[in-house]
Amino acid sequence: MEDITRYLDQLIQIIQSGSTELWNVGIKQACINGEIYKWMAIAAGMIIILLLVFASKMLERAEESGNYNSLGNGISACMMFSIGLFALEFWLVPTAIRYLSNPEYYAIRLLIETIKGW
């Protein structure tokens, strides 16, 4: 906690005149990151739906032809990729919610990381 206080004191000394602008930029950046995560989650969800539809069409085609050997690998690949993307959704959605619900916290993190870099 002392390190954070020291870093914040250094930040105040270094950029006293532009601190409001820097704070606003940090908040905007956190909101932008939240939007990026949200749209990545939406895109991953759409890809999951498309892969599952594609796998079901492949399964229908395999049932019609009676040849499961040739399409089995494709169906398995679609299902495994869908499961992987579904697991990714469990990270993307909460991250987007965190960034969008509390951008001030992530702005503070950005400022502290910036100070540590100096």
Q: What is the DSSP letter of 66?
A: T
Domain boundaries, the chain: 32-117
pLDDT at 17 over 70: no
Spatial contact of 12 and 108, defined as CB atoms under 8 Å apart: no
Q: Give the residue, 14 or 50, on which the prediction is more confident.
A: 50
With residue 79 as reference, give the H or E element that holds it. Answer: helix 68-101
Please tell me the pTM assigned to this model: 0.70
SS3 11: helix
- Retrieve residue 56's tokens: 């079901």
Max alpha carbon distance in the chain (Å)?
Answer: 75
- Predicted confidence band at 71 (pLDDT cuts at 50, 70, 90)? low
Q: What is the pLDDT of residue 68?
A: 64
Spatial contact of 45 and 96, defined as CB atoms under 8 Å apart: no
> Given phi > 0 = left and psi -120 to 50 = alpha, else beta, which region is 44?
alpha
